[in-house]
C-alpha cells in the first residue's frame, strides 16, 4: 500500500486529503474552515459509529470551554459544504441529544498514488509528487485552501480555475507561490491583531463578557502574556522599534502607548477612530477622526501628529458619504494612502487615494472600487499593498494584492469566512490576520421573561411580526441573503425571495398584508413590496439608495431614509412619486398606532436625539434625549411610549421611553453576543430578538514575498 494512502479518505465523489487538510470534489478544493474540516475528519474516522457531542467538543476545543452552539454551527457549515440535508441526510446523521454519525459508505482507493519523497533536509522543502490523478489534484490545491479559513486562503494560481478574475481584476497566476497559515488562537474571541516589525511578537485581543484583554505572543517560544485589560479596544499597532504597543481604547476613544514588558499606558491622542498608522521613520502617526457636523451628517478628517501626540495637523476633511478610513503611510513618508468613499447605497464606491502630508492635496490612485476596505499594509518586498476588503455587498472580506504604483488588483483568498484585520511585519516575510465567521440566530419567547428566550433558527439583522403571530426575517440559510417566513417555533419555514441580490429589513402592513423590504437586485438598495406569500414583488423607489422602510398605520404609505443624507421620505405603497418629509437627519422611522406622528432618530453635533414628528413631515413636535443606538423604534399599542434597544451600565437592554421622558429598562442576558434587532408581537405577548457575534481567531501567514 502507498505510504500516502493513510492520508486519504474517499466517500461518494469526495476525497479528503488529511496531509494537506483539504476536501476535494472532482479534483477541486472546497473552501472549509479548519475547525469544520476537523469536525469532518472526526466523523469520517469514526464512520458508522455515534460520535458523542462531548467527544467532538473535547477534540475540537481541547482545554477550552465553548458553548455547544459552536459545534452546531460547525455541523451546519459542514452540511452546507457537502450539500447535505439534516432531515434526509446522505452523510451526517443527527442522533438527538447525543451526537452525530457519519453514514456514507467509505470507498477504497482505486487510483495509484506515488510514494512520498523525502523532504530536502537542507531547505525543508518537499519535492513535487509524481503526476497521477490524485497527486495532480493535490499539487493544484497545495494551499489552494491552506487552512482554508478560517476563511480559506486560496493561492492565486491554477487552483483557482480562473477563480475571481474579471475585466477589472487582474488575476494573474503566480507560479511557485506558497502561502502557509498557522492558527494562533482557537477561542473565537480575538478580533484585532498586530505583528512587530521584526516578526517576533504578535499582539492580539481576546474578548470576554465584560472586557477586552490584550495579549502578546512571543513566536519563538510560543508563550503568551496578558498585557492589559480594557472595556473596549478598537485597534492595535507596534511602534517602529517594536518595543512598545500602540492601541486605541475607550469610549470616547484615545490612542495609548505601553511597553511590551508592561507598565502604565501613556495617552497620546484623543478622539480618533481605531485605525492608525506609524510613519516609516517612526516619528509621526496618521489617524482618522469622525464627528457629526451641524447638519447632523458624519464628517471625517485625516490628521497627522508627532509620535508623542504633539503638533497635530489636519490634512483633509470630507463629509458623508466621503468617508476616510484605514490610513497607511507611503513608503517615502510623503503621503498618506487611505480608503475614500461609502457604499451605503449597496454598490462599490470605496477607492484608494493618496493625501500629500505637506500640502493636503488629494490624488486618486485607482479607478477600481471596493464595497468596503477593512485594513491594509505593505507587502514585505514593498511591491504593493495587501488589503482586507470586500468587492461587493454580498461577499465576505477577502485579501487582495494591489501592486504599486501600477495599482493592479488581484484577489488572493476566497472562502466562507471573513478577514477582519491584517498586519505585516516590516522586516520579515510574515503577517498576522484575524479571520471571522458570523454566528447569528433569532431567539423567541415570552415578553414577560426576556432573560429566557429560546434559540430558533439562523437569522441576521432585522425582522417583523405578522398580524397572526408569524415571523418574517432575513437569513443566509439558502446561501444568499433572502427573506423567509415561519411560525415562532421555527416550523413551516418558507423562502419568500429567491436569488435576487441582498434582501432584508422587512416591514409589514397589518391592514393590507403587504411586506416591504430593501433589495439591491437592481444595483443599489431600493424599497420593494411583495405579498405575504412572496408574490408580486414590485420596486417602489429608484435613484439614490434607500433604507429602513416603515409602513403607515393605514397601510397606504411607506416611509424610508435616503442613504445620501438620511433625510426622511415617503412613497405610496401602490407605487408613485416619493415625497420628502424632512430636510434634516431623521433615521429609522416608526409610525404611531393612530397614524398621526412618526418617531425617528435625529442627530446634532454632540449626540443622537429621539424626535417625534407630524406624519406629514416638517419640524419636530417633541425632542427627547435618546439612550440607544441605531436600531428599530417600536410604539406601544396605546401610542404613549416608544421602545428601542440600547446599552446601560455595560448591559444590552430594551428601553421603554414615554413621551414625557420616563424610562423603563428590560435587561437581556446575551453573554458576549451583540443584539442586532428586537420586536414585540402585535399582541405584546411574545418577544423576538436577533443576536450573535463574530467568531474571530488569529492566524500567522508566511510566504508573502512570493
Instruction: Confirm whether 499 is domain-assigned.
Output: yes
| Domain shared by 244 and 365, yes or no | yes
Could you tell me the pLDDT band of residue 593, with boundaries at 50, 70 and 90? very high
Average pLDDT over residues 463-486: 92
Per residue in 66-100, pLDDT tens? 667 778 878 888 888 898 988 889 999 998 878 99
Q: Which three cell numbers stand for residue 576?
A: 408613485
CA distance 569 to 557: 10
**Residues whose CB falls within 8 Å of the CB of residue 552, separated by 6 or more in sequence, listed in order:** 558, 559, 570, 591, 595, 615
Q: Which three cell numbers stand for residue 83?
A: 450539500
CA distance 550 to 530: 14
Instruction: Confirm whether 346 is domain-assigned.
Output: yes
Cis link prior to 252 (omega < 30° from 0)?
A: yes
| Domain shared by 354 and 214, yes or no | yes
Give the pLDDT of residue 137.
29
Q: Quick check: 92 and 75 in contact, CB under 8 A? A: yes
Instruction: Confirm whether 593 is domain-assigned.
Output: yes
Average pLDDT over residues 308-326: 94
Could you tell me the pLDDT band of residue 466, with boundaries at 50, 70 and 90? very high
Which three-class secondary structure state does DSSP give residue 43? helix
**What values do phi and psi take at 346, rounded to 5?**
95, 5
Rounded to an integer, what is the distance from CA 187 to the centroid of its chain? 17
Could you tell me the pLDDT band of residue 168, with boundaries at 50, 70 and 90? very low
Range of the domain at 477: 448-684
Q: Which three cell numbers stand for residue 139?
A: 499539487
Instruction: Confirm whether 690 is domain-assigned.
Output: no
| Domain shared by 500 and 554, yes or no | yes
**Residues whose CB falls within 8 Å of the CB of residue 342, separated by 6 or more in sequence, listed in order:** 320, 321, 322, 323, 349, 350
| Domain shared by 397 and 465, yes or no | no
The CATH number linked to 419 is: 2.130.10.10
| Domain shared by 425 and 493, yes or no | no
Instruction: Confirm whether 153 is domain-assigned.
Output: no
| Domain shared by 379 and 504, yes or no | no
Rounded to an integer, what is the distance from CA 9 to the centroid of its chain? 33
| Domain shared by 165 and 236, yes or no | yes
How open is the CA angle 83-88-94, to the nearest 5 degrees? Answer: 90
Q: Which residues pair with 517 in a beta bridge?
A: 528
The CATH number linked to 540 is: 2.120.10.30
Beta strands in 409-513, from DSSP E residues, in sequence order: 409-411, 418-424, 430-446, 454-458, 460-465, 471-475, 482-486, 494-495, 503-509
How many domains does the structure of the chain reveal? 3
Which three-class secondary structure state does DSSP give residue 75? helix
Instruction: Confirm whether 402 is domain-assigned.
Output: yes
DSSP 8-state symbol, 42: H
Give the pLDDT of residue 29.
77
Q: Which three cell numbers stand for residue 399?
A: 485579501
Burial profile 647-678: b = 16 or more Cβ within 10 angstroms, e = fewer = eeeeebbbbbbebeeeeeebebebeebebbbb
Give the pLDDT of residue 485.
96
| Domain shared by 301 and 265, yes or no | yes
How open is the CA angle 313-425-430, to the nearest 5 degrees? Answer: 155
Could you tell me the pLDDT band of residue 530, with boundaries at 50, 70 and 90? very high
DSSP 8-state symbol, 197: T
The answer to whether residue 499 scores a pLDDT higher than 80 is no
DSSP 8-state symbol, 86: S
Q: Quick check: 26 and 143 in contact, CB under 8 A? A: no
Per residue in 666-706, pLDDT tens? 888 887 788 999 999 999 999 999 999 888 999 999 888 76
Could you tell me the pLDDT band of residue 211, with boundaries at 50, 70 and 90? confident
Instruction: Confirm whether 633 is domain-assigned.
Output: yes
| Domain shared by 433 and 452, yes or no | no
Q: Is the pTM of this model over 0.75?
A: no
| Domain shared by 492 and 526, yes or no | yes
| Domain shared by 452 and 428, yes or no | no
The CATH number linked to 12 is: 1.10.10.10
| Domain shared by 421 and 472, yes or no | no
Instruction: Confirm whether 149 is domain-assigned.
Output: no
Amino acid at each position: 500500500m502507498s505510504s500516502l494512502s493513510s492520508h486519504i479518505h474517499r466517500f461518494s465523489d469526495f476525497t479528503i486529503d488529511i496531509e494537506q487538510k483539504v476536501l476535494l470534489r472532482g479534483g477541486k478544493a472546497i473552501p472549509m474552515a479548519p475547525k469544520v474540516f476537523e469536525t469532518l475528519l472526526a466523523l469520517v474516522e469514526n464512520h458508522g459509529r455515534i460520535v458523542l457531542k462531548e467527544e467532538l467538543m473535547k477534540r475540537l476545543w481541547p482545554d477550552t470551554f465553548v458553548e455547544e452552539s459552536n459545534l452546531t454551527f460547525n455541523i451546519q457549515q459542514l452540511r452546507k459544504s457537502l450539500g447535505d440535508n439534516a432531515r434526509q441526510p446522505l452523510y451526517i446523521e443527527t442522533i438527538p441529544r447525543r451526537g452525530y454519525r457519519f453514514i456514507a459508505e467509505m470507498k477504497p482507493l482505486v487510483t495509484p498514488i506515488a510514494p512520498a519523497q523525502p523532504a530536502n533536509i537542507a531547505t525543508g522543502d518537499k519535492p513535487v509528487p509524481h503526476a497521477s490523478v490524485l497527486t495532480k489534484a493535490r499539487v493544484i490545491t497545495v494551499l489552494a485552501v491552506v487552512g482554508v479559513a478560517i476563511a480559506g486562503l486560496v493561492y492565486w494560481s491554477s487552483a483557482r480555475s480562473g477563480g475571481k478574475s474579471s475585466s477589472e481584476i487582474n488575476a494573474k497566476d503566480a507560479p511557485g507561490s506558497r502561502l502557509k497559515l498557522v492558527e494562533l488562537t482557537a477561542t473565537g474571541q480575538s478580533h484585532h491583531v498586530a505583528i512587530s516589525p521584526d516578526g517576533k511578537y504578535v499582539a492580539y485581543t481576546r474578548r470576554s463578557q465584560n472586557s477586552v484583554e490584550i495579549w502578546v505572543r512571543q513566536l519563538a517560544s510560543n508563550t503568551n502574556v496578558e498585557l492589559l485589560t480594557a472595556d473596549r479596544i478598537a485597534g492595535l499597532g507596534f511602534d517602529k522599534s517594536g518595543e512598545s504597543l500602540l492601541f486605541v481604547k475607550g469610549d470616547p476613544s484615545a490612542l495609548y502607548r505601553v511597553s511590551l514588558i508592561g507598565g502604565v499606558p501613556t495617552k497620546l491622542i484623543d478622539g480618533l477612530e481605531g485605525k492608525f498608522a506609524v510613519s516609516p521613520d517612526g516619528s509621526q502617526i496618521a489617524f482618522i477622526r469622525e464627528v457629526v457636523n451641524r447638519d447632523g451628517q458624519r464628517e471625517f478628517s485625516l490628521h497627522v501628529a508627532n509620535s508623542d501626540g504633539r503638533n497635530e495637523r489636519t490634512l483633509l476633511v470630507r463629509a458623508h458619504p466621503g468617508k476616510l478610513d484605514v490610513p497607511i503611510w507611503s513608503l517615502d513618508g510623503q503621503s498618506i494612502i487611505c480608503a475614500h468613499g461609502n457604499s451605503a447605497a449597496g454598490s462599490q464606491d470605496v477607492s484608494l487615494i493618496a493625501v500629500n502630508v505637506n500640502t493636503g492635496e488629494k490624488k486618486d490612485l485607482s479607478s477600481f472600487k471596493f464595497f468596503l476596505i477593512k485594513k491594509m499594509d505593505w507587502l514585505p518586498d514593498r511591491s504593493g499593498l495587501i488589503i482586507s476588503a470586500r468587492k461587493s455587498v454580498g461577499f465576505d472580506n477577502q485579501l487582495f494584492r494591489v501592486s504599486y504604483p501600477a495599482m493592479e488588483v488581484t484577489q488572493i483568498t476566497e472562502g466562507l469566512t471573513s478577514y477582519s484585520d491584517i498586519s505585516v511585519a516590516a522586516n520579515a516575510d510574515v503577517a498576522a490576520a484575524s479571520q471571522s465567521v458570523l454566528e447569528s440566530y433569532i431567539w423567541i419567547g415570552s415578553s414577560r421573561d426576556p432573560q429566557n428566550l429560546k434559540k430558533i433558527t439562523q437569522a441576521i439583522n432585522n425582522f417583523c411580526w405578522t398580524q397572526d403571530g408569524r415571523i418574517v426575517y432575513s437569513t443566509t440559510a439558502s446561501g444568499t441573503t433572502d427573506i423567509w417566513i415561519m411560525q415562532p417555533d421555527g416550523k413551516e419555514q418558507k423562502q419568500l425571495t429567491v436569488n435576487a441580490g441582498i434582501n432584508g429589513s422587512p416591514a409589514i402592513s397589518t391592514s393590507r398584508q403587504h411586506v416591504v423590504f430593501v433589495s439591491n437586485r437592481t444595483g443599489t438598495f431600493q424599497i420593494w413590496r411583495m405579498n405575504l406569500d412572496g408574490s408580486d414583488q414590485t420596486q417602489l423607489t429608484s435613484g439614490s439608495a434607500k433604507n429602513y422602510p416603515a409602513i403607515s398605520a393605514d397601510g397606504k404609505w411607506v416611509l424610508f431614509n435616503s442613504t445620501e443624507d438620511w433625510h426622511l421620505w415617503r412613497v405610496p405603497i401602490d407605487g408613485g412619486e416619493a415625497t420628502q418629509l424632512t430636510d434634516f437627519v431623521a433615521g429609522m422611522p416608526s409610525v404611531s398606532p393612530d397614524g398621526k406622528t412618526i418617531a425617528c432618530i435625529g442627530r446634532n453635533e454632540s449626540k443622537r436625539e429621539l424626535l417625534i414628528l407630524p406624519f406629514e413631515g416638517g419640524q419636530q413636535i417633541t425632542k427627547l434625549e435618546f439612550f440607544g443606538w441605531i436600531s428599530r423604534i417600536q410604539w406601544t399599542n396605546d401610542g404613549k411610549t416608544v421602545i428601542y434597544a440600547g446599552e446601560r451600565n455595560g448591559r444590552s437592554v430594551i428601553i421603554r421611553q414615554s413621551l414625557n421622558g420616563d424610562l423603563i429598562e428590560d435587561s437581556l442576558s446575551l453573554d458576549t453576543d451583540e443584539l442586532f434587532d428586537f420586536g414585540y408581537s402585535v399582541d405584546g405577548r411574545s418577544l423576538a430578538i436577533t443576536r450573535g457575534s463574530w467568531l474571530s481567531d488569529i492566524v500567522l501567514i508566511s510566504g508573502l514575498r512570493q
